[in-house]
Structure 1
Amino acid sequence: MDGEFKKTELIAKYGLLPRDLRKIDSSLLPHILVRPTAILINLLHLRVLIKHDRVLVLDAYGTTDSYTQSVFVYDLTGKLAQKDNSRQPGGLSYELRALEAVLISVTTGLEAEFEGVSGPVVRVLRELEEDIDRDKLRHLLVYSKKLGTFEQKARLVRDAIDDILEADDDLVSMYLTEKAQGKFREENDHTEVEMLLESYHKVCDEIVQVSGNLVSNIRNTEEIVKAILDANRNSLMLLDLKFSIGTLGIGSGAFIAGLYGMNLKNFIEESDLGFLGVTSWSFIFAAVVCAYGMIKLRKVQRVSMWGEQGKRNRGNWRDVAAMPPLPGESREERLKRSREAKHQAWSVYKQRIPNAEGTNISSPVVRRGKLDEA
């Protein structure tokens, strides 16, 4: 509540560097900077300077998230009002209690924001399972963008805490009270602050994992919706092709009727069966054209890994796989050579084993046992 400060005053009073305030003031990326006499924190809505005996909250009021900052200041006041119990088991010093208040406010804000984002996403995903609507897809697109932004924000906070956990010298330098009293710890003696950061790192990691799963559900739903729309589009195209084939058949029959309907002498109009014959032939020709078109359409609908030539010549894939290819040998030649080897083995088997007639060479017993002996 002290008022406004100039950056030069903060740098001179708290022993900072200009680049430190630049990361806090202008950078949107989360940072936890440890300096010899202070800890600078820039996480989401909080910009905090922690000393061994005071905490400076930068721009606490007048921002778009002033309510969350007000709650943080209230919680921070309650934690700092406690007596210094760092000598007791499980107790924390002044700066660590301030750091815990910051992490609590950040993780609470992430959880509240995730609940506000995930609720509409889950509702839209549930509605899309029952009915696919354009408005629902548009809402899903908007919510997926918000969720992606939130996931990136939570991931950056987790990475900022993770970077501090990987630096042992920064963890030791966070004991500002002991440094002010002239006590210095060894490089690996930072159990309290490490456990504190790890607990909130797990909370941030859980939020990142849950939001990532929700993003994956959105992507899977989008893929399923695309597959359904593609199937419906294919059905409409198939229906259009069937109508086109029917129109082609009717047009073919009408072509014959049109030939006989011209004002030209063809001497069939003198016959009593002329009308019936031409009509019957027109219907038969139209039916043949429609049937031929439907057969071709049905062949096009069939999807195969082998293709048209592979369907006729693929044979048994086990026979082809068992025979190693020769240089320059085609697949058909390899299949033929495999069949000849199979018949030759069967001939040897009939000579060595009596009463072999009627035995199937493809049976497991013959293939694994007696045929190997032969």
Structure 2
Amino acid sequence: MASLRLPVPSVRLLRFLRQQSENPGFFCSNHNVSSLSVGAARKTQCLSRYQPFSLQAGILDFEALVPTRASRSVRIKRSSHPTFALRCQYNSTNRQPTPCKPAWQEWLWGSSGSRARRPGRPLEPDDLPEADGEGGNNSMFNTRRQLSKKAASEPRLRCTEVDDNGNVILVDSEFKKSELIARFGLLPRDLRKIDSSNLPHILVRPTSILLNLLHLKVLIKHNRVLLFDVYGTKASYPQSAFMYDLQGKLQQKTAATNGGLPYEFRALEAVLQSVTQELEADFEAVRDPVIRILGELEDDIDRHKLRVLLILSKRVSTFEQKAKLVRDAIDELLEADDDLVAMYLTEKTHDLNRQLDDHNEVEMLLESYYKLCDEIVQEAQNLVSSIRNTEEIIRAILDANRNSLMLLDLKFSVGTLGLAMGTFIAGLYGANLENFIEETNWGFATVTAISIIMSLIVCKYGLSKLRHLQRIKMQGVPPSGRDGDYHWFHDDGHVGLLDPRNREKLRRLQMMKADDKKAPKKSWW
């Protein structure tokens, strides 16, 4: 539908307006636009009520002198953009405008329109033209939205492709997800695990093998390898090393009858080798600082060293979790016999079917790398265990130091209590009361001796009780009178840690030694 256009004034109408402006004493609020002659225009009478879309002419324009907001009709007339169409209907015969009902913005913000741009006011995004009814967009702010919608509707992945001879035929090529799904026989959820998931996965499909292991996201066919590029990560060097190793393995063409591996297994071996090398490199980068800080903590326990140990403990835990996920992914594949049989992609192209348990080659390949990953996981667990043991020992040392400080505090408290006893006796002697002790010559010495003796008695009693509470033994002679309470318990000492057969032999040897001691010794004469 064509946009509504404003009527073009005729030549006679322009002459009429010019003649009105030349007469200073004549002005009117409204004139009929259909009048064509000057004489007929002078005979028109002014209307008492102001009507919209009227024409004014004259020297004195009071509305222009008063700084008020421009009316909606004038604002619409000044706008030249087709989207600011008048909300009126025009009659082609007499060209008289018919005002329509105001919009909801006019009822809410007023008829003057708050969005009208005043002269001198900076341009705002609300002053820009709005979108038309056909879905077009005239705003420069919507270009980015259109591009983002287009990119979201057509997701793409950047890939590097290697052929059956080990040559790179495509570098950083963009493919749509729909193209990859149709070309390699995948499912949308498979690409979702490659594109958005960081968990290790090994997926076996009828015509391909999909791997997502750490820094590598690879699709393996019977004659193609597709490496999905991951941007924004620090895996550029491992990926370059993987491409070099992959080309070397794929170029070694050896027949399967001579003990060689098919194309897909050589690519799979290159992927697993790169993943294990990356795990070993990460473990070496974490293990050396941990061993160094554990050795330093044995000599001196410092707050800074404890903070470094905390940071390294988090790194080791993260690495252990990552290595476990890779090991579990390989283990899950080893447990599925149907997936192992389905990994023989080259034989499928030649219509060769295998039995469900005939997968020795790929099982041995996966088993070897599973052992490597399991060893890395075990070493990481040992390192985590060493960190935990060191933390427990440090905690025990700190608790022992805290107990020593508390014991020292208790000793001072006992000494203060003894001095308080002597002070109490001295206070009684120094009271302003009459007694016979003050009249004797031995009174002062007697009171002083009694005070010292009482203080020493109190201190000795408190320290003995404190020493008795401090003495804790894991093994020793039980107190007297308590043997009957533990008649059901017999302590074998270290003998209980031995094997039952060795335990019996050691018990017999101890009994023989006891009998030899009890036997009477024979004199030589």
Closer, same or farther: CA 148–319 of 1 in aligned 2, 3 Å? closer
Residues 253-296 of structure 1 deviation map (CA, whole Å, 9 limit, x = unaligned):
11211222233333433322222111111111110110111122
CA distance in 2, matches of 1:196, 1:6: 33
Closer, same or farther: CA 84–315 of 1 in aligned 2, 3 Å? closer
1:315 aligns with 2:483: yes
Matches within 5 A, 1:128-207: 128-207=297-376
Of structures 1 and 2, the larger Rg is shown by 2
Consecutive unaligned residues of structure 2, counting only runs of 5 or more, are: 1-170, 491-513, 517-525
CA distance in 2, matches of 1:123, 1:305: 34
CA distance in 1, matches of 2:382, 2:473: 35
Closer, same or farther: CA 154–305 of 1 in aligned 2, 3 Å? closer
Shift, 1:299, TM fit? 2.3
CA distance in 1, matches of 2:380, 2:331: 18
* Greater Cα shift, 221-230 or 100-109: 221-230
> What amino acid does structure 2 have at the position aligned with 1:118?
R
Match in the other structure for 1:64: 234
CA distance in 2, matches of 1:2, 1:304: 72
Match in the other structure for 1:18: 188
Residues 170-203 of structure 1 deviation map (CA, whole Å, 9 limit, x = unaligned):
1111111111222221111211111111111111
State the 4+ residue runs in structure 1 displaced beyond 4 angstroms: 316-322
Match in the other structure for 1:125: 294
For residue 52 of structure 1, give the secondary structure of its aligned residue in structure 2: coil
% same residue: 66
Matches within 5 A, 1:1-374: 1-89=171-259, 91-303=260-472, 311-316=479-484
Residues 99-158 of structure 1 deviation map (CA, whole Å, 9 limit, x = unaligned):
011001100000000000000011111111222222212111111111011011111101
Specify which structure has the bigger relative contact order, considering alpha-carbon pairs within 8 angstroms and separated by 6 or more residues: 1
Shift, 1:62, TM fit? 4.3
User: Could you state the TM-score of these two structures normalised by the residue count of structure 1?
Assistant: 0.81
Closer, same or farther: CA 8–84 of 1 in aligned 2, 3 Å? farther
Shift, 1:73, TM fit? 1.4
Shift, 1:86, TM fit? 2.6
CA distance in 1, matches of 2:473, 2:230: 66
Match in the other structure for 2:153: none
> What amino acid does structure 1 have at the position aligned with 2:481?
N
On the 8 A contact 1:31/1:43 being kept in 2, the answer is yes
Higher helix share: 1
> What amino acid does structure 1 have at the position aligned with 2:197?
S
CA distance in 2, matches of 1:93, 1:292: 87
For residue 452 of structure 2, give the secondary structure of its aligned residue in structure 1: helix
Residues 218-242 of structure 1 deviation map (CA, whole Å, 9 limit, x = unaligned):
1111111112111121111111111
* Greater Cα shift, 180-189 or 283-292: 180-189
Shift, 1:304, TM fit? 6.7
CA distance in 2, matches of 1:24, 1:201: 22
For residue 219 of structure 2, give the secondary structure of its aligned residue in structure 1: strand
CA distance in 2, matches of 1:28, 1:235: 51
For residue 268 of structure 1, give the secondary structure of its aligned residue in structure 2: helix
On the 8 A contact 2:327/2:370 being kept in 1, the answer is yes
* Greater Cα shift, 216-225 or 261-270: 261-270
> What amino acid does structure 2 have at the position aligned with 1:21?
L
CA distance in 1, matches of 2:352, 2:306: 61
User: Could you state the TM-score of these two structures normalised by the residue count of structure 2?
Assistant: 0.58
* Greater Cα shift, 245-254 or 297-306: 297-306
CA distance in 2, matches of 1:148, 1:319: 48
CA distance in 2, matches of 1:80, 1:214: 37
